[in-house]
């Protein structure tokens, strides 16, 4: 199968990998075990793989978020979760994801084949200039298939997201403008006021299209490393997990 065909057929990984972020179970874990709310658990849990980094480093890896919001969430989350280190919190966050996978995907068949295909893609990436992806890839994959499938969906999500941010930089499109194109109705969630997002020009949209094409181009060799059977398993697993998340 052509790499771009596989990427399009597995686009739901973006939703699967984020599906545990704000579930009642994840939020309760953050509050009861760590003393932080769900939004702070998101920032510290997702960014904690970067270690005890300055907020500006985390913003560079996340993109999109209004810088002062990210700094406030990151720094106050670290304060409230102390003495636990950011990477320890990241592992708590991944543990929530693994439990989510066990709960939602236990009845799904052949997830080990999805995990195998995902591992081929993930292992084919060098990782240079992709810190958030590299950070989460460094964390151990669970032994059981439902949790492993969720884990690898997260890694694949961070892979495309990291390459996407790199591509935005390559075409000269600030993430603030990219946010206005991609998620114009989510200003408040990302820390922007109603009038804070810029007007988007046709030139900006052209750059966005170039960045999307470049993202596919960068990722094509990794997806091209899949054998045909692996590609089909990756697609089948994605489809089954997406249905389980939605249902």
Q: Do the beta carbons of residue 22 and residue 60 sit within 8 Å?
A: no
Structural domain boundaries enclosing 67: 3-246
Q: Do the beta carbons of residue 136 and residue 69 sit within 8 Å?
A: no
- pLDDT of 189 above 80: no
Helices 86-105 & 228-246 angle (0-180, nearest 10): 90
- pLDDT of 165 above 70: yes
**95-144 confidence digits (pLDDT tens):** 999 999 999 999 999 999 999 999 999 999 999 999 999 999 999 999 99
Report the distance separating Cα 12 and Cα 168, nearest Å.
21
The tokens of 24 are what? 């009642």
**48-96 confidence digits (pLDDT tens):** 999 999 999 999 999 989 999 999 999 999 999 999 999 999 999 999 9
- To the nearest 10°, report the CA torsion of 83, 87, 91, 92: 30
pLDDT for position 186: 78
What letter would DSSP give residue 128? T
Cα separation values, 224 from 7, 50, 122, Å: 10, 29, 12
Higher pLDDT, 7 or 187: 7
Taking residues 27-45, what's their average pLDDT?
97
Q: Do the beta carbons of residue 179 and residue 64 sit within 8 Å?
A: yes
Average of per-residue pLDDT values in the chain: 95
- pLDDT of 195 above 80: no
Number of domains in the chain: 1
Confidence category of residue 3, pLDDT binned at 50, 70, 90: very high
**210-229 confidence digits (pLDDT tens):** 999 999 999 999 999 999 99
């Amino acid at each position: 199968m052509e790499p771009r065909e596989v990427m399009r057929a597995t686009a739901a990984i973006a939703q699967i990998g984020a599906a545990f972020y704000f579930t009642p179970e994840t939020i309760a874990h953050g509050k009861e075990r760590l003393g932080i709310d769900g939004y702070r658990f998101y920032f510290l849990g997702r960014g904690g793989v970067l270690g005890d980094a300055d907020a500006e480093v985390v913003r560079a890896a996340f993109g999109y978020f209004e810088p002062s919001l990210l700094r406030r969430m990151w720094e106050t989350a670290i304060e409230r979760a102390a003495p636990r280190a950011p990477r320890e919190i990241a592992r708590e966050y991944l543990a929530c994801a693994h439990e989510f996978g066990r709960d939602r995907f236990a009845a799904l068949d052949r997830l080990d084949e999805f995990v195998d295909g995902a591992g081929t893609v993930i292992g084919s990436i060098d990782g240079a200039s992709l810190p958030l992806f590299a950070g989460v890839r460094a964390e151990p994959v669970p032994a059981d298939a439902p949790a492993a499938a969720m884990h690898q969906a997260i890694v694949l999500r961070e892979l495309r997201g990291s390459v996407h941010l790199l591509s935005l930089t390559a075409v000269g499109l600030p993430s603030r403008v990219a946010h206005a194109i991609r998620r114009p109705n989510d200003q408040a969630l990302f820390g922007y006021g109603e009038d804070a997002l810029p007007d988007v020009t046709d030139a900006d949209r052209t750059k966005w299209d170039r960045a999307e094409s470049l993202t596919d181009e960068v990722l094509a060799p990794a997806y091209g490393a899949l054998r045909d059977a692996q590609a089909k398993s990756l697609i089948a697993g994605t489809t089954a997990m997406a249905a389980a998340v939605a249902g």
